[in-house]
Amino acid sequence: MSDRYELRFSGSGGQGMILAGIIMAEAASIYGTKNAAQSQSYGPESRGGASKAEVIISDQIIDYPKATAIDCMLAMTQEACTKYHGDVKEGGILLVDSDEVKVLPEGKFRLLKYPITSAARDELGKTIVANIISLGMITELTGIVTHEAIEKAVLSRVPAAFLELNKKALQIGFERAKTLK
């Protein structure tokens, strides 16, 4: 299993967690040289409720598309954090949005906190790009994909009118993650 790098993006439906997963997987497999599989799970509603996307990155064929022992997990809401943190492996990273996650889980993982939503709101005026800031942070923290690859992947998935906004969000993510290292 060591040839698998597992990521989980979790939050509430509508926060762009599935899109974040897709972008990360594309950065690895389309704009990078690795293989990737992205899967998701959510309730019958497309908005609200805990939702998660998982990305497996590997140099080999990816069989099981779901996370088994997570290398890096993002939690954007308290509900998602509480519900999904259990699979983070020993020594893995759990990045939480400290605006939302107040009850911090305990475990043998590296717990990193950052007010992601307020950074999006205060610095870019749009909470909608919180997921892109997270992608920047995770890229910087894990090094699983390059800055160039994640940028290409982000820009290929967002509307043309918002390219600059998303570029900035990614940049903020890279920088803030350095402060957590």
Beta strand 70-75 with 50-58: parallel, antiparallel or unpaired?
A: unpaired
Nearer to another protein, 38 or 117 (CB): 38
Name the one range near another protein by CB under 8 A: 18-26, 78-86, 107-115, 123-131. Answer: 18-26
What's the CA gap between 89 and 171, in Å, rounded?
A: 28
How many residues comprise the chain? 181
Counting contacts by CB under 8 A, is residue 17 touching another protein?
Answer: no
Counting contacts by CB under 8 A, is residue 149 touching another protein?
Answer: no
Nearer to another protein, 61 or 160 (CB): 61
Helix 163-180 × helix 130-142 angle, to 10° = 50
What's the CA gap between 168 and 94, in Å, rounded?
A: 24
Of 38-77, binders to another protein (CB under 8 A) are 38-44, 61-66, 68
Nearer to another protein, 69 or 163 (CB): 69
For residue 74, list its beta bridge partners.
9, 95
What's the CA gap between 19 and 53, in Å, rounded?
A: 8
Binding mask 100-119 for another protein (x = CB under 8 A): --------------------
- The site for another protein (CB under 8 A) is made up of 1, 22, 25-26, 29-30, 35-44, 61-66, 68
